[in-house]
Structure 1
Amino acid sequence: MLRPFRQVDVFTTTPYQGNPVAVVLDATGLTTEQMHRFAHWTNLSETTFVLPPSTPDADYRVRIFTPTEELPFAGHPTLGTCHAWLSAGGTPGSEVVVQECGAGLVRVRRTADGLAFAAPPLVRSGPVDEALVVRIAGLLGLDRSAVVDAEWVDNGPGWVAVLLADAAAVAAVRPTAVDLDLGVVGLHPPGSPAALEVRAFFPKDGATVEDPVTGSLNASVAGWLLRTGRITAPYVASQGAALGRAGRVHVSVDADGALWVAGGTVTCVTGEVNL
């Protein structure tokens, strides 16, 4: 069966400079096995499948797959899926699009910086055991003293994050065989175009993969760094330079204290997929 399909570049307004997500816009009738097999075939960091919502409070439901597993939530697939749904004629019930996913209901809205999602609550937070910090430093090829701080920042994918001395230290990281979902962050000098440099690593098929631009990690790291006074909002994070990308993530906090993560979205592929 031919189904409408989009491939969307996220956290950029320039095609092929962000992080792509594959979106199957009508996944009605597909089994989990079929979704998983197609996600494995696309070999992108995530592939999403749009379904009718199971609650009247949502505009659509989405299932999010990496090549190896299903995720309850992920950031750039949320924005890319919303972009694809809107571009295909989706009409939200209000000014805010409500996406249903494994993590619950996620709000998405239009902003001057692109589509923005409201950061979901963490499923795990708090300090990281010292033994794990030492192991993470080793995985990154660093001495333990190079890690300024570490925190669990898991909002679904499983992130643990470490703060290094600065953005230059983040850019210099050369990881070995990473075996957990790991974020590495450092501040740029004051006055720089971006306030924060972010890199994200995760294991796949026994190898270490770097994600080009990571919405979920940026959302959870923002909560940590804002809470500890290391950064102030609004700010821009840069990610992807090590992979030849130029991702830009815009973080803000609204009057109600909700944290929003925004970025550009652009369609790169439009067509149909036989599933």
Structure 2
Amino acid sequence: MVNKIANAFGLPLSDIVRHQWVDNGPGWCAIMLRSAQQVLSLKPDWAALSPLNLGVVGLHDSSHEADIEVRAFVGEGGYEDPVTGSLNASLAQWLMEENVVKSTYLSAQGTMLQRAGRIHLHKSSDTVWVAGEVVKVIDGEINL
């Protein structure tokens, strides 16, 4: 599977420093690259990526406001999700467990889609909390 992912992005296999199946509702194949800049430079081959749902993460250097950069590629349908709470929660569980990130950190997502998504992650006891600001784009009511 990791070979398929590396090929879909034209990456050498050695650039994938960690990989894990993460699941917080919807399941994601997750990989960690060497840096946030590398995450931002990805250009997927959607046909090669299908049908994977793939979360990609990389660490920012200490001068950036966010600790990590996240991108969410939905292979079936071929699109990138600008901000994904369930993926960020799943990544937090994985990365906190492996001591890659602290128990409280800030994730950036949507950068390549001209979105400034900021997701606040915090672990309390055994629970990971996800928070952030939202922009309401639709409002409605359904009567059954």
**Are positions 1:176 and 2:45 aligned together?**
yes
Give 3-state SS (helix, strand or coil) of 2:130's partner: strand
Deviating runs (4+, > 3 A) in structure 1?
268-275
Superposed CA deviations along residues 85-116 of structure 1, whole A, max 9, x for unmatched, are xxxxxxxxxxxxxxxxxxxxxxxxxxxxxxxx
Question: How many positions carry a matched residue from both structures?
Answer: 141
1:192 is displaced (CA, Å) by 1.8
**Are positions 1:257 and 2:126 aligned together?**
yes
Superposed CA deviations along residues 157-211 of structure 1, whole A, max 9, x for unmatched, are 2201000001000000111021101010000002420000000101234xx2111
Give 3-state SS (helix, strand or coil) of 1:221's partner: helix
Superposed CA deviations along residues 196-244 of structure 1, whole A, max 9, x for unmatched, are 0000101234xx2111111111111111111111110211100001111
Superposed, 1:230-249 pairs within 5 Å as 230-249=100-119
Superposed, 1:91-102 pairs within 5 Å as none
Partner of 2:70: 198
Within 2, Cα distance between the matches of 1:261 and 1:270? 22
Superposed CA deviations along residues 131-164 of structure 1, whole A, max 9, x for unmatched, are x111111112211111111111122322010000
1:271 is displaced (CA, Å) by 4.5
Give 3-state SS (helix, strand or coil) of 2:65's partner: coil
Match for residue 23 of structure 2 among 144, 148, 154:
154
**Are positions 1:217 and 2:109 aligned together?**
no
Superposed CA deviations along residues 47-71 of structure 1, whole A, max 9, x for unmatched, are xxxxxxxxxxxxxxxxxxxxxxxxx
Superposed CA deviations along residues 12-35 of structure 1, whole A, max 9, x for unmatched, are xxxxxxxxxxxxxxxxxxxxxxxx
Structure 2 residue runs of 5 or longer lacking an equivalent are none
Contact 1:157–1:181 (8 Å) recurs in 2: no
Structure 1 residue runs of 5 or longer lacking an equivalent are 1-131
Within 2, Cα distance between the matches of 1:200 and 1:264? 18
Q: TM-score, with normalisation over the residues of structure 1?
A: 0.48
Partner of 1:112: none
Aligned-residue RMSD, C-alpha: 1.8
**Are positions 1:165 and 2:34 aligned together?**
yes
Within 2, Cα distance between the matches of 1:217 and 1:188? 18
Within 2, Cα distance between the matches of 1:210 and 1:221? 17
Sequence identity of aligned pairs in percent?
47
Q: TM-score, with normalisation over the residues of structure 2?
A: 0.90
Give 3-state SS (helix, strand or coil) of 1:248's partner: strand
1:273 is displaced (CA, Å) by 6.6
Partner of 1:122: none
